[in-house]
Structure 1
Amino acid sequence: MSKEQNKPLDYKYIEQLMKESGALLEGHFLLSSGLHSPYYLQCALFLRFPKNAEIAGKLLAEKIVKLGKPDFVVSPALGGLIIGHEVARALDVPFLFCEREGGIMKMRRFTPPSGGKYVVVEDVITTGKSTLETIEAVNAKTSADLLGVACIVDRSSGKLQSLPSPISLWQVDFPVYSPEDCPLCKDSSLPLVKPGSRS
């Protein structure tokens, strides 16, 4: 098999790695939104393996450079830190991050370049809220232009109104149900589980 044939380019490869790492779970889950779903994705379990982070970082970097090479990469803490750093390493540019202070996303530790272009990198984009807050935090400190937004998994279903379409390795739209309409609740063999970190 040639190197090109062996190169992981399609989303099925990322899905496979997600499952192998335990990041993609199937069952009956209570989401932080209060909705129920047969799937739960916890990207941190995928990124705990450095090789996965390296692979995803290189693949995203290859997609990003088609827009042009950014002068720096920015991610929101905490979820975007590992993949943002890997993308920056693959692009050989500086990596900066934003973090919440008093509930507000800020760039506390860095002074970004006054010009050039940047890209925001996350692990998963769903509503785009933290991505937008990151962009606002960067724009408050620099005149650099946003080149694009990138993530490992795009769960936005094309509903992001204030952001450019994300560059991603996997676009997925898991089914979700209200508790009263959840078909999984009717199956007594599937107990409701609440994973994740937010109450």
Structure 2
Amino acid sequence: MAGERERFLAMLREKSYEKKKVILSSGRESDFYIDCKQATLDAEGAVLTGRLLCEMLDMEGMPDAVGGITLGADPIVTAVSLTSALRGTPIPAFIIRKEPKKHGTAQWIEGTGNLRPGMKVAIVEDVVTTGASTLRAIERAEEAGLVVSRVICLVDRNEGGAEFLQEKGYRLEPLFRKEDVENA
């Protein structure tokens, strides 16, 4: 797995990291941007995402399901769910909307047919900055009766998100930190 980890880190640096001024979803200005979707939507990147996160989840026992906020988490949860099935231990994925559906069931979560109250779930993110959107995902999952047992991200920007989540009672487990991507 060490080779796969290094390969995925190289993909994040090559495809997802840009040194430029941007406004982040938190409203903060930054001089760099990490768009993990550029790597996770790549075929090889999706395979590596699934393998690396399943390995990470296995370390403390696989959750019953994996989910996260659209759009960054969509390819991640799909890769993890698919990889878990290929490994013979399938877990479903779910996607949390940023706003409830405006018609039909008006639900916040897609994939509820595969979920039941009390399931232990992992919330995944592509990039964590302040942790605010991660906390919203956690809250939505808990409102649906799910038990959030793990919080994982591909990249922690090291801008207070891990500390914020820790204050709320959740430990952020990053696959990589900003410095890893910058120095790859």
CA distance in 2, matches of 1:145, 1:36: 33
Matched, 1:162 2:164: no
Q: Deviations over 1:38-95 (max 9, x none)?
A: x221112222312102102210111112121111111111111001111122232011
Pair member with larger Rg? 1
In the other structure, the counterpart of 1:181 is none
Secondary structure of the corresponding residue to residue 124 of structure 2: strand
Q: 2:134 aligns with which of 131, 135, 140?
A: 131
In the other structure, the counterpart of 2:72 is 79
Unaligned runs of 5+ in 1: 175-199
TM-score by length of 1: 0.71
Kept after mapping to 2: 8 A contact 1:24/1:41: yes
Return 133-142 or 161-170, whichever deviates more.
Answer: 161-170
Kept after mapping to 2: 8 A contact 1:71/1:117: yes
Matched, 1:147 2:149: yes
4+ residue stretches of structure 1 with deviation over 3 A?
A: none
The letter of the residue matching 2:108 is K
Structure 1 residues 109 and 89 mapped into 2: Cα distance closer, same or farther (>3 Å)? closer
Identity %: 23
TM-score by length of 2: 0.76
Kept after mapping to 2: 8 A contact 1:74/1:98: yes
Q: Deviations over 1:14-38 (max 9, x none)?
A: 43112332x1112x4133435341x
Structure 1 residues 130 and 163 mapped into 2: Cα distance closer, same or farther (>3 Å)? farther
Unaligned runs of 5+ in 2: 85-89, 102-106
Structural RMSD (CA) = 2.7
CA distance in 2, matches of 1:139, 1:34: 28
Q: Deviations over 1:130-156 (max 9, x none)?
A: 2211121121122x3211011111124
CA distance in 1, matches of 2:112, 2:179: 35
Q: Deviations over 1:157-182 (max 9, x none)?
A: 443232523222211169xxxxxxxx
Shift of 1:102: 5.8
Matched, 1:93 2:91: yes
In the other structure, the counterpart of 2:87 is none
Q: Between Structure 1 and Structure 2, which shows a larger proportion of helix residues? A: 2
Q: Aligned ranges for residues 41-60 of structure 1 at < 5 Å? A: 41-60=34-53
Choose between structure 1 and 2 for higher RCO, CA contacts under 8 A separated by at least 6 residues.
Answer: 1
